[in-house]
Amino acid sequence: MKKRILGKNGPEVSSLGLGCMGLSFGYGPATEKQDAIKLIRNAFEIGVTFFDTAEAYGPYLNEEVVGEALEPFRNEVVIATKFGFKNGKPAEGLDSRPENIRAVTEASLKRLRTDRIDLLYQHRVDPNVPIEDVAGTVKELIAEGKVKHFGMSEAGADSIRRAHAVQPVTALQSEYSLWWRQPEAEILPLLDELGIGFVPFSPLGKGFLTGTINENTNFDKSDFRNVVPRFSEENRKANQGLIDALTHIAIQKGVTNAQVAIAWLLAQKPWLVPIPGTTKISRLEENMAAASVELTKQDLAEIETALGSIEVQGARYPQQLQALTGR
């Protein structure tokens, strides 16, 4: 797989990473541990060198799985994890106090079976802790050799600028796809200006862009999408037009919907590294093959014409979670 540099001074990683969250959290019951380890190692075998996790995924379970899976080739991969929630539980609120950042880092190092975290993200901006204090704490951890790069997730432009002035931000992780294009307005130009890499999560619109979800789909009772307005039955039906247009383009190219969606992202910026996630090896192979799909200028123009005018219905988060983004 081809490589990319995350931002101006970031690490070199595979052009697609693996988002590991869904193996343990968010999309129904956790994948059996050995199956999850097998999938992660399979990803490495086909060229993935960038793996994303967080203490909040489980909590803790995902880091343990990722750590065990990657231990045999730790020095050949880049591992990203996150801090920022009380006790690793989003429902308990935010906690980016310096002492918590330090405690989480030490615990994450143990679970990940490593002596350094390659990329440490603040999971969400904490309005109760000055972003300068957060960046300063991570700067100290970098000086101590426990962390190599600082990242932010779902942060707003002002917070990114302020943090970057204290400790250069290597990467921003936020949602971005044909399903959610808001970062194009303010965030992408800012990242370009500051030399910060971009890591889009949910590049397949939490599965919707694959074309395998429709108004009749039933999610597991523990699936996060049950509370997402965009995934209501009414909105799934309303948004089918986007899928129909994407499917038409995919058929023309002789590839899958998912591959078009991921290839479109890769074509946006050279410092952008999507992290599609999956629990199935067949889907893993399909997603990673998207790195070889070349979209011409004509293809991109056709996608823009076909999909750019379609207004996706429904909020991407319930109100209480949306309030945590863009700060």
CB-count burial class (<10 Å; 0-12, 13-18, 19+) for 154: buried
Active site residue 57: yes
- In angstroms, the CA 165 to CA 206 distance is 33
Query: In terms of Cα–Cα distance, which of 202, 211, 234, 221 is closest to 316?
Result: 202
76 token code pair: 């050949």
Burial class of residue 128 (count of CB atoms within 10 Å of its CB; 0-12, 13-18, 19+) = exposed
State the Cα–Cα distance between residues 78 and 49, nearest whole angstrom: 6
Q: What is the DSSP string of 28-91?
A: SSPPPHHHHHHHHHHHHHTT--EEE--TTTTTTHHHHHHHHHHGGGGGG-EEEEEE-BGGG-GG
Q: Measured between alpha carbons, how far is residue 3 from residues 6, 16, 149, 268 in Å? A: 10, 8, 18, 15
Which element (helix H / strand E) includes 236?
Answer: helix 233-238
| Residue 82: strand pairing partners | 121
Element (DSSP H or E) covering residue 4? strand 3-5
Choose, from 27, 57, 121, 176, the residue flagged as catalytic.
57
Q: Side by side, which strands form the sheet with 117-122? A: 18-19, 50-52, 78-83, 117-122, 147-153, 169-175, 197-201
Residue 219 tokens, joined: 């999610």
- Rounded distance between C-alpha atoms, residue 196 and residue 193, angstroms: 8
* Cβ neighbours of residue 35 closer than 8 Å, sequence gap 6 or more: 279
Do residues 282 and 256 touch, judged by C-beta distance below 8 A? no
Residues with catalytic function: 57
